[in-house]
Structure 1
Amino acid sequence: MKKARLLLQDGTIFEGTSFGTEGESIGEVVFNTSMTGYQEILTDPSYCGQMITMTYPLIGNYGFSRDDDESRQSFAHGLIVREHAEYMSNWRQEISVDEWCREQGVIGISGIDTRMLTKKIRVHGTMRCLLTTGSEDITNLKEKLANAPQMRDQVARTSTKSTYIAPNNGKRVVLVDFGAKYNIQRELVERGCEVITVPYNTTAAEIRRYRPDGVLLSNGPGDPKDVPEAQQMIRELLGEIPIFGICLGHQLFALACGADTEKLKFGHRGGNHPVKELATDRTVMTSQNHSYAVKEDSIQGLPLKVSHIALNDGTVEGLEHTEYPVFSVQYHPESAPGPQDSGYLFDRFLEKIETSIRKGETVHA
């Protein structure tokens, strides 16, 4: 077995066994508390530039199936596990976690104390790290990590480079791809929508040319303040077209309206995060993956109201515009972490579209 080393920004070193591809990678170390869904996690573009620590101790036991990918490739910079399964048992299995990581160019390390690492992240926050399968001197590795530039172009890396269409007979929705998961498109197509997926830097004028009934702002990686062109596009479309924002799309909607965002200490990543909808007093279990959140005090005086809150820490999980048919959530309604509690949000989006069409308020109408 080839060895691998994980060097944290604070100088902590973990030594374990290498799997997946060989080489060296630098990123931000984060943790995910999901017990299943490792393939969907690894192919979620929102993990671009990050090293994913899985808190569940055994990863890879049911293998990988290409039908379960959530994007065209993995954008993660590393996978950190307590134990990776060398043998898999599932009727849908195609390849092992080791083979899949080799194909995707993802470096993996197993055999380390992921519980200790997770506790460290919870106490000190997410931090930069370097993962290597080489034997280079630790002093040189520390220097590399200290001098590595901060990644700021994650959205550009993960977004589609060209427009593509999923034809259908229903409502026409423009999906702005900031690093979108495939299941967002699937949820819309299942509801009869024609989905036009466009790059992250598509302008409001270009979106209007498609004469959409609605616009969906997708999830994506990184700091929302690194995508100012998207904020401008949203500002121009407010009041013209119903808009639904998910995760990064939620944060960009808030920034476009004049609110502010902040980086969380260690973020929310997992499939069991409770969120309360204030209008109904109903709590749902959600799938989440984000480092940033909307600052609640920054929306005061703006035409926004908080619609959902996280029960674990009270952070903003949803917003509604008080004048226009625009709303957003911080979590992932397209995911199914077991319960499918949040799928109704896509229906709500289509209801807002239908109402706007009846009133003659949309560009398409």
Structure 2
Amino acid sequence: MMEGIINLSNGVSYTGHWHGEKTECSGEMIFYTGMGNLLEFISDPAVKGKIVLATYPNILNCYIDQEKLESDDIQIAGLVIQQEYGEFSVSMKKWLTVFKEKCIPVMTGMDTRSIIKQLLKVGEVPITMKANVGDLISSAKQVKELSTSTYKTINSNGKTHVVLIDFFVKNSLIKWLIKSDYKITIVPAEVTAEKVKALKPDGIVFSGGTGNPSSYKNCYPEYREIAKEYPTMAFGLGHQILAEAFGAHVEKMKWGHRNFKHPIIHVESKEVYMSNQNHCYSVLEEGLEATGFIVSYQSIQDKSIEGLSHKIYPITTYQFHPDGKNPKLEKIIICAFSNQVKQAKGVNIYA
């Protein structure tokens, strides 16, 4: 069994069992505390290029279901887990085969408790992860770009037409919109307001994605014009981008929210929901009033902003993601957007 080593940016190192080619990779290490939903998590565009520390000891003892992929491929750069080599199940062996085929290194037998304590001190930091051998024979997987550069229409017979601005959209968001009978036109992140208007949509959706929202700063004037013109909802990275486009401040969190059951509270009703989250940037409440946005949802754990609504324009944004697994919360979201679309068309809405 080959030995592998990871080096944190603060100089702390850990060794374990290396699985895969004799490679080396680097990336930001994040931790995932979920007991399931692994395939959804590691194929989520939000974890593109990350090295994932999974805290649940038997995380690979699960089936591989291609229907659960959130993108066309697994997006992580590496995986670190506690499971030992001698404990391999049939499903774990299949997982390791898949990772090897995709040139994604895996380290087992790791002291995940100790590593996560380090991450809680220093935050989600860049690390290196490599096989502890003399000569490395290849480079680890290079993750391809995920966003679209073309226009694509899905569910063309849907009764309501939305333009989906693609910042690396998740498959579950598309499925969720189709389930609500939306015709979806997916457009590139660099789309202009003029091109959106030419599509004559009923509403706009800003997708989630990966990276720093400020990377799209050059497009903010276009996004503001689009959002002011049409009923708009945004998720994940799209929520951060739209908030920042209107003047809000966004900062990188020490460690992100990465779970399928993150508790949030609706500020007005005080109702609590479990939400699907995978992000490391957060919209700040400081200076928010000047943007016209008010807080609609907050995290119960750290009081960070989980949702916004605009006082003037029909804009609602959410830090969490709809995935078809939280019917009550997702019905509230889709009904609010549907009512905004109807009102924009001049339809009277009655309580």
TM value normalised by structure 1? 0.87
* Structure-1 separation of matches of 2:321 and 2:340: 19
- More moved, 187-196 vs 78-87: 78-87
- Whether the 8 Å contact between 1:73 and 1:104 is mirrored in structure 2 is no
Question: Of 120, 126, 130, which residue of structure 2 is paired with 1:132?
Answer: 130
Whole-angstrom CA distance in 2 between matches of 1:272 and 1:80: 22
- Is the partner of 1:82 in helix, strand or coil? coil
Indicate how the Cα distance of structure 1 residues 282 and 159 shifts in structure 2: closer, same or farther if over 3 A, else same.
same
SS class of match (1:254): helix
For 2:140, the equivalent position in structure 1 comes to none
Aligned to 2:98: 100
CA RMSD of aligned residues (A): 2.3
Pairing partner for 1:350 from 312, 316, 338: 338
Gapped regions of structure 1 (runs ≥ 5): 138-153, 361-365
1:86 to 85, 88, 92: 88
Instruction: Give the counterpart letter for 1:58 in structure 2.
Output: N
SS state of the match for residue 227, structure 1?
A: helix
1:272, distance to aligned residue in structure 2 (A): 2.1
Comparing 7-16 with 77-86, greater Cα deviation is found at 77-86
CA distance in 1, matches of 2:145, 2:249: 24
Shift of 1:121: 0.9
Distance in 2, Cα, partners of 1:79 & 1:242:
40
Q: Please, which moves more after superposition, 199-208 or 282-291?
A: 199-208
1:34, distance to aligned residue in structure 2 (A): 0.8
Match of residue 297 from structure 2: 308
Q: Secondary structure at the match of 2:17?
A: strand
Structure 1 runs (4+) deviating above 4 angstroms are none
Q: Which residue of 2 aligns with 1:114?
A: 112
**Which runs of no fewer than 5 residues in structure 2 stay unpaired?**
136-142
Q: Deviation digits for residues 213-232 of structure 1, max 9, x if unmatched?
A: 11111111111011113423
> Secondary structure at 1:185's aligned position in 2?
helix
Q: 1:162 to 1:18 in 2, by over 3 A?
A: farther
Q: Distance in 2 between matches of 1:299 and 1:136?
A: 53
CA contact (8 A) 1:250 1:330 kept: yes
Answer yes or no: is the 8 Å Cα contact 1:175–1:195 preserved in 2. yes
Q: Residues of 2 paired with 1:78 and 1:173: CA distance? A: 36
Matches within 5 A, 1:226-237: 226-237=215-226
Q: Which whole-Å deviations, capped at 9, do the CAs of 1:336-355 have from their partners, x for residues lacking one?
A: 3xx54432212322222122
The residue type equivalent to 1:254 in the other structure is A
Residue by residue over 1:103-152, the C-alpha shift from the partner in whole angstroms, topping out at 9 and shown as x without a partner, is 33322111101111112111221111011125259xxxxxxxxxxxxxxx
1:163 equivalent in structure 2: 151
* 1:129/1:322 CA distance change after superposition, 3 Å: same
Matched residues in 1 for 2:276 and 2:169: separation? 15
Conservation of the 8 A alpha-carbon contact between 2:158 and 2:178: no
Q: Deviations over 1:56-92 (max 9, x none)?
A: 1112212312111110112211111111773246xxx
Amino acid at match of 2:8: L
Partners of 1:200 and 1:301 in 2: CA distance: 26
2:89 maps to a residue whose letter is Y
Residue 51 of structure 1 and its aligned partner are, at CA, apart by 0.8
CA distance in 2 between partners of 1:221 and 1:102 (Å):
24
For 1:319-334, list aligned pairs within 5 A.
319-334=308-323
Distance in 1 (alpha carbons) for counterparts of 2:228 and 2:288: 18
Contact 1:60/1:96, CA 8 A, preserved across alignment: no
Instruction: Name the counterpart of 1:215.
Output: 204
Q: Report deviation, 1:359.
A: 5.6
Contact 1:79–1:107 (CA under 8 A) maintained in structure 2: yes
Quick one: which amino acid aligns to residue 301 of structure 1? A
The residue type equivalent to 2:338 in the other structure is: L
> How far is 1:203 from its partner?
1.7
Please tell me the residue identity of whatever aligns with 1:121.
L
> Could you say if the C-alpha distance between residues 169 and 266 of structure 1 is closer, same or farther in structure 2, counting changes exceeding 3 Å?
closer
- The yes-or-no answer on 1:272 pairing with 2:261 is yes
Give the corresponding residue for 1:10: 10
Bigger mean CA deviation after superposition, 26-35 or 114-123: 114-123
| Alpha-carbon spacing, 1:21–1:218, altered in 2? closer, same or farther (3 Å) | farther
Taking the aligned partners of 2:64 and 2:337, their CA distance within structure 1 comes to 33
Whether contact under 8 Å (1:21, 1:101) holds in the other structure is no
Matched, 1:32 2:19: no
Q: 1:235: Cα distance to partner?
A: 0.9
Aligned in 2, Cα 1:259/1:17: closer, same or farther, shift over 3 Å?
same
After TM superposition, the structure 1 = structure 2 runs for residues 174-185 of structure 1, keeping only pairs within 5 Å, are: 174-185=163-174
**Aligned residue pair count:** 339
Q: Partner amino acid for 2:189? A: Y
How many Å apart are 1:194 and its aligned residue?
A: 0.6
Q: What residue is the counterpart of 1:140 in the other structure?
A: none
Q: 1:310 and 1:236, CA in 2 relative to 1: closer, same or farther beyond 3 A? A: same
How far apart, CA to CA, are the structure 1 residues paired with 2:23 and 2:185?
38
Q: Aligned residue for 1:363?
A: none
Give the C-alpha shift of residue 185 in structure 1.
0.5
